[in-house]
Structures are given as structure tokens and as C-alpha cells.
Amino acid sequence: MSSEAFHTVGGELHVEDVPLAAIAARHGTPCYVYSRAALTDAYREFDQAFADMPHLVCYAMKANPALAILDLFARLGSGFDIVSGGELARVIAAGGDPRRVVFSGVGKSDDEMEAALRAGILCFNVESESELAHLGAVATRLGLRAPVSFRVNPDVDPRTHPYIATGLKESKFGVAFEAAPRLYREASTMPAIDVRGIDMHIGSQITELAPYREAVAKLLALVDALAADGIALSHVDVGGGLGVRYRDETPVAIADYAAAIRALMTGRRERLLLEPGRRLVANAGVLIARVRVLKRSGARNFAVVDAAMNDLIRPSLYDAWHSVQPVRASSGDALAYDIVGPVCESGDFLALDRRLPLAEGDLVAIGSAGAYAMSMSSNYNARPRAAEVLVDGRDVHLIRRRESYADLIAHESRLP
């Protein structure tokens, strides 16, 4: 699998000290399984890489907003990068400190701004001139000052999937690099706005250092230009986006990433903020599923499992690759299978052309499912969302129960 927390003992796949088959027997399938040790190790490696400089790690919780995971990271000292009022509510419910929250997102509503201001968040990452005006008006009405930074697009190509490249000038995110000085000057004159910092996020699943070096260098040059104009910033937020290994990628080592950032930040007065998401959780989780049907259609073999695109949409949406491994060793002959789900869509696949020894009723583990799996799941085809469990050594904690059919209709009503 994707992490040392997932390993084989006696031909059977385990998470920490627990067989995955035992989890499936107790909690059913499909089921997301996370390792506390893997989550903890990933956070500590990232945080400690910057231990010699003032910094705050703000977990980008859109990757996985499970309350138990937020609770774990909050206990480890994490801040949070949020993109909605709902995410702020989850941080608070999980025991997170709003004073360690940065609020990103291109479409913040006035109600979301008000909730964040009342909660006392660290900073709004402002993404448009219109947002600045709305935020100023909301803060004025409440008699508060809104702490802000601007999310600035450095127009650097992150060389990743186009759907997750976010720092180019044609992106919907952030403000144009050239417009930033004017916006900072405008913000600095607004009584209800407190200019705090600057922010960027160039994309996700980035596996090279060069885009970060170029983007951070441009950002710091802008910080210096603003200082010369009398606008001194207290923090620099370099975003997130570090890639992970799904198949054969060579992710940037955390130590190398930290060294590159440190080389650019050495001697500066600004506090460093970072927004890792995928890098902290992706390889700390798997999705277990059971083979329902094996069938042959034309020249292709299909393994129909009980997980589907509503549980893991990344293969359909991004053509993403996730490992698939039998939970228990099989002596059967391996064949090339397309691993598909029961959803009524031709795009409902989890993996294509995987050579595996399978029989109906077998369990499979789909790797790297800790990020953008449950967080992007849905009830398409009226499918209840899966259970989530977190393993801590020999202990298995159910952190989200499986939805029931009653849950699916609980918020609806028939016509009178």
C-alpha cells in the first residue's frame, strides 16, 4: 500500500496492528480506513521541517474534513485552511482554534464572513476587489476589523493536471500579480480592514521544486515592493500543493521543500504560513471494497465491486491512478480486470487494466484514499456514503457511521 502503516502479515493486509478483513467484517464495505500513526507522522515531519523559523502549518481541510482527523491535527498544534463556513464550523466542532484559521475561497458569502469575523480567525485570503468591498462592509457593520491578505497569482506553471493548477493568470482564483499593489494600497486606507499578509497557492499534486522557487521568489519581491511603499506585512503564506506518490511519481522530499523555502526566507521578518492538505492525509488512508461480480464482456474482464465513483471520483474526474491490492493473498490465476462500481455510468471505474487474482466475495484495498475520497463523495444513484474508521495501534474507532436509506431522505418531504 501507500504507507508503512499498511503492511502485509501472513499474506493478509493490515493497518497498524489490525487486519483489514477484520474491519470489513465489523463495519462492512465500502469503508474508508485511516491510520493515526501515518497521519501523526506526516504532520510532524512537515511541521518539524520548519522548526527553526516562525511558522504555522494550516491543514487544507478540503482534502479530508473528518472531525476525528481535524481533532488529531488540532492536538498536534495545527492551524487550518478553510474554504467555506461549513469548514469553519467543522474546525470549531473538532476543537480547533479559530485564531489559527485562514479563510480562502473565491465566493465567500456575507454570512460566512460574519461568522468568521465573530469567531476571530487569523486571516481572510481575499481573492477579488469585490470581496474586499463586501468584507469591509460586513466588518464595519459588526464594528470589527477584518484581518486580510490577498491571494496573489504569481502566474507560474505548476506542471500538474489543469483542473488543479490554480496560480496561473487565467485562473478563477486570486488576484492578478500586476493588480496587487493597487489593491493593497486600497485596503490599507479602509478603516475596517487590517492588512496582515500575502498568500499564494499555485496548484496541487506538484512534484517539482522549481515552480515553488519561482513563485515564492516573485511573492517576496512583491512583499519588498509593498514595504517600500509603506505597507509592511506580518506573514507570507506560500500555500500547499506538494504531491504524493500514487503510482510511480517521485514526490518532493519535505526536507528539500523546507530547504528551498528557508533559503528564500532567511533573514526576513515575516512569519511563514503553509497550507498542506493532500501531503498530510492521502497515503494515510485506504478504501476497502468487496468484489460482487466477475464478468467478461468482449475482450475485457470486469470486477464489479461495492465501491463506486460516488465513493472515489478521482479516477473518473482526473484520470487518477490508485493502487488496488487484494486484502488476502489468493492462489487463483491473475487476470487483467477493470475495477468498476455499480453506479449507472460508463465512467464509473476505480482502476483499469489491473492484473489481479480475484474471486467473487474477495476484499480489495484501494490505496491513497485519505485525500479527496470521502471529501468528494456523494449520494449519486441514492447510494449511502461509506463508513470511516481510524485505527490506533490495535484500537479501531468508528469516526463516521455508514449512512442509512433513512439518512438519504431525512431532509426531504413529499408534496402536500
Active site residues: 344
Helix/strand/coil for 180: helix
How wide is the angle at C-alpha 341 spanned by C-alphas 339 and 344, nearest 5°?
135
- Residue 182: CB atoms within 10 A of its CB come to 11
- Residue 28: CB atoms within 10 A of its CB come to 14
How wide is the angle at C-alpha 68 spanned by C-alphas 66 and 71, nearest 5°?
110
Q: Do 394 and 16 form a contact (C-beta atoms < 8 A)?
A: yes
416: buried, middle or exposed (CB in 10 Å: 19+, 13-18, 0-12)? Answer: exposed
Dihedral angle over CA of 133, 271, 38, 303, nearest 10? 40
Q: Do 275 and 201 form a contact (C-beta atoms < 8 A)?
A: yes
User: Nine-digit cell at 249?
Assistant: 511519481
Q: Pairing mode, if any, of strands 101-103 and 123-126?
A: parallel
